[in-house]
Structure 1
Amino acid sequence: MEMSIGSKSTAGFSATVCEVVLEVLQECADSLAVYQNILRQQSTIEDDDATNIFPNVKISETSILQTLARGAAEMTDSRREAAREKLLQDSLYVSSIIEDLKREISEHGTIDVLIKEIERITSQEEQEHLLIEENESMQIIVAELRKAIADKKTANEKEEERLTKKLTLTRDEKEKLKLIKDVEIKYVRVWEAARREQYVLRYELKMDELKKTLNDHCVRERNENHVNDVLMRYLTRRIALIETRIEQWRQRYDREKKMYEKEIRKVRNEIGNAQKYLEELTTEYCNNQEFIDTYLAEQEALRRQKEHEDHVRLSIIKMQAWWRGVMVRRKLGPYRSEEKKKKKSIKTKK
């Protein structure tokens, strides 16, 4: 296989490291090729042995028993074959990864393929771990559900047993009630027959009593019809008499109505004349009242004027008396003493 080694890139290995790594990978690839050839050869040999175990053997009971006896060995061989197939697939997978890694190292000098594959395997393992945990939790839940189902089944069995016992008791009770009912029905039938006979006798006695009552009512009806005829004749005569009296009272009402209407008109005329006279008197009264009010107002004014004049005159007299008293007490005017008069005369002479 030709391999071209490129120069070292900024993110890859150096040329020397790349050559060393490529040599190691080539050795690994050769070893895997040898391992794969060995696995293929073993698988081919076992297939040939399996086809030549029982050549041209007829099917019989002995062959069937031998086949069953070798079942366990064949199961072990099948497991071994599955493991060998798994190893072969894994070796092919590793070979493909080595080839991709050799190609990347020879071209770019990096191992991104290996890193990505490791990351993929790691994520796959994490997912498998999560699935395992989820499976364990689901198994726990399933175990709990199985336990609950078992408990429910036990409870249902107990309930079924209880209901079976109850059904048995109910059936026994039903049979007992049926017997009691049959006896009661027989008793009721006998009792109904006796009661029917009693009712027949009672109804016959009742019919005789009702017939007697009917006859009595017929006699009473005839008597009441006779009384009704007599009353109708009396009421007819009475109604005729009352109608005659009503007519007489109606005529009297008409006469008295006319008479009273005439008197009412007369009284109304008198009332009208009296109202006119009353209006005249009212007018005269108003005039006289106005004259009286005017006269009284004049007399009141004269009285007040006279009282005012008397008050003024009395006040003047009081003022004069007061002033005269003041002059007398103080000896003023004509009431002055002789000494003061002399002194005044002397002063006037000087």
Structure 2
Amino acid sequence: MEKSNYHSANWQNNQCTIIKSLGNGRLCVPTRKSFLSALEACVDALTIYHYTLNNWNCTGNGNEARNAPDETKETEKNPDHSEMLCKLECDSSYVRQLLNDVKNEMQEKGTYTALISLINRTAEKEVEENNIILNDIAAQKTVEDLKKELLQETMENEQEISGLCKQLNKLKEEKQEIELKIDRETGYTSAWETAQCEENMKRCNITLEYLRTSLEDILILKKNECRVAREIDAFLKQNIAFNVKASDNWDNRYHREMQMYTDRNNQLRETIESRRSTLQELETKFRERQEFIDRYLAEKEAARVLRELEEHKKQSAIWIQAWWRGVMVRRKLGPYRPDEKKKKKTVKGKK
């Protein structure tokens, strides 16, 4: 993937350098003439090539097919040969038409913008194809990851199934051991009873009833043991069915909980994103209001300083006025002079 990105970047850089080298698509008069002569030579060569392809498709194949049947068999086996020839013919006609358009434009206007626009279109198409390839690679990678997860889940399920099968085999072995034990016990008791009967039948007829009762008791014990074995078998089967059902329930619960947890994680991601957006909005509002508060406090502080300055000026003026009044009172100046001095001044003035 990194290599494809590197190659696509190199290709785009090469295209950009080609387009920059073309410039605005206008040539001077001497280079225009040489360019037109080169275009005419290319057009003539392409017409000859197109003519040879048409003649080879129309006549050459038929003659060669008559003279060489082995070659016709090979062409039948390879049907892409004719398609390749058709494509070569179409491509040659397209290139010839393009060169004619460029030649006409060069003759009329002295530019070759059609060629530049074609290069731009091919560059854009190549970029789109590279993007599609990169998306395909990313999709293949995700598919491989999903396959690995599926393989891991199947391995875990197989391990659980193998554990349950081992438990089932163990229970079957225990059942077989119990059945063998019962068979041995019943065989032993029956043999012992027959031996005792043969030995004691002639000796004492009195103990016959006792032996019959003991035989009945043993038979009842055997029936009880058989009944117990059947109940154990039924219990084991029921327990096995319960375990199988429980394993299915646990598997279903596992899938449900996984889906529930994924949904919950998605919901939590959405809530986190929404809260992040609201947090960003609150941060912007906080910054705006904090700026407003700072401006308000600065204005308030400036008004307070101005007010204190005015009060200081006023208080200083009051202090100066008070000091001056005190000086005038102490020195008896101005309106604070005594009346005698005033009269003397008035008399002197009259003289």
Which category of TM-score, normalised to the shorter sequence, fits these structures?
0.3 to 0.5
TM-score, normalised with respect to structure 1:
0.36
Which one has the largest radius of gyration?
A: 1
